[in-house]
Amino acid sequence: MANSQQPHQKMSKYESHELYAEFEYVDRSHATRRRRLAKKHHKKKQNGPRKQSDRHAKMMADIRKMDDSHASWVPSYAAALDPLHHERHWVISAVAPFYHDALITDVTRLVKGGKEANVYACTADPATGFELVAAKLYRERMLRNLKNDAIYKAGRTLRDADGKQIRSRRERTAVLKKSGYGQRLDFMMWVGTEFRTQTELYEAGGDVPKPLAQQGSAILMEFIGDEYGAAPALNEINLEPDEAQPLFERVMENVKLMLDHHYIHGDLSPYNILYWEGDIILIDFPQMVQARQNPHAFELLQRDITRVCEYFARFGVESDPVQLTLDLWKPYMGSEYAGLHVGK
């Protein structure tokens, strides 16, 4: 019987290479698989975040191109200052929230500079109903310039920047010990006091600028004046004889209005009473005293009235500051009034 098997033919090394060239050895050991997975994970980790970061960067670049927010806004007054000037950064950072909230469109000029605060004239957004508004920017070191501030703060309720009463023992202690954190809280209380008091007095019919907003250490309010300049203070002008008496009576009506709402200005003088178009406007309320809580209330009220009387006396207005003070204080205190020894 013939053998059905084909005889084995030996291939050359070239034929063997061509026959098995399409096959590739794959190492499927456990160690090799772990190395491959680690390499794949590392590559994904490198490429993924980078692509995501690139997409985020592109998105932010697109937003910046169409950005209309305070991050890219420089008012004309600040633009004219040296880029390294501290006032430039201060003005932009302080008033930018008002721009962002569509309250102002520009800051045009410095109206008044002082140790405690600067006041700037701003072009108002039409939605406010004003052509011009004033931005009052307090300096954080203002407390160093306030002499005997404890007199004004005596009996005052401690409140935070939002006007809420401070009940935290930690915060109250910080304010009393005047730590860095406590001084910051104290500073915000002074600014907040002015805004809240001015708002209450305006709503009660007081002759004060209409307050619009507060952001941090800045207060935005109605501008008293026009495009040519701000209203002068009483100490800068001479009144006509026929207007001195009615203006004096108007000031005293505002003093009474404040007392009716349990407030005493505490620093009233011709320097913070503006004169505009025949009317008076009271300003500057950070040191406002709570009449029933402050043990120095009567003395501060009498000082306010005395300063007003002395100014108007220059224009022929006769008055008795002590009697005027008592005429306001007695009805206000009512049955609590036990008599005060006041020398004329």
Q: Which tens digit of pLDDT belongs to each residue from 259-311?
A: 999 999 999 999 999 999 999 999 999 888 999 988 999 999 999 999 999 99
Instruction: Kindly report which listed range (26-40, 86-100, 130-144) carries the lowest average pLDDT score.
Output: 26-40
Q: What is the CATH number of domain 231-336?
A: 1.10.510.10
Q: Alpha helix (H) ranges present in the chain?
A: 13-20, 30-65, 76-79, 86-100, 142-145, 149-153, 169-177, 180-203, 241-260, 297-313, 321-333
Q: Where are the domains of the chain?
A: 70-226, 231-336
Q: Which tens digit of pLDDT belongs to each residue from 31-85?
A: 777 777 777 666 655 555 555 667 777 766 665 555 445 458 899 999 999 988 8
Q: Kindly indicate the confidence band of residue 193, based on its pLDDT and cuts at 50, 70 and 90.
A: confident
Q: Which CATH superfamily is domain 70-226 in?
A: Phosphorylase Kinase; domain 1 (3.30.200.20)
pLDDT at position 220 is 98
**Position 214: which residue type?**
Q
Q: Which tens digit of pLDDT belongs to each residue from 149-165?
A: 666 666 566 655 565 66
Mean confidence (pLDDT) of the chain: 81
**Residue 160 is a catalytic residue:** no
Rg of the chain on CA atoms, in Å: 37
Among all chains, which residue has been given the structure tokens 């501008």? Answer: 223
Which is catalytic among the residues 186, 207, 267, 304? 267
CA distance 137 to 134: 10
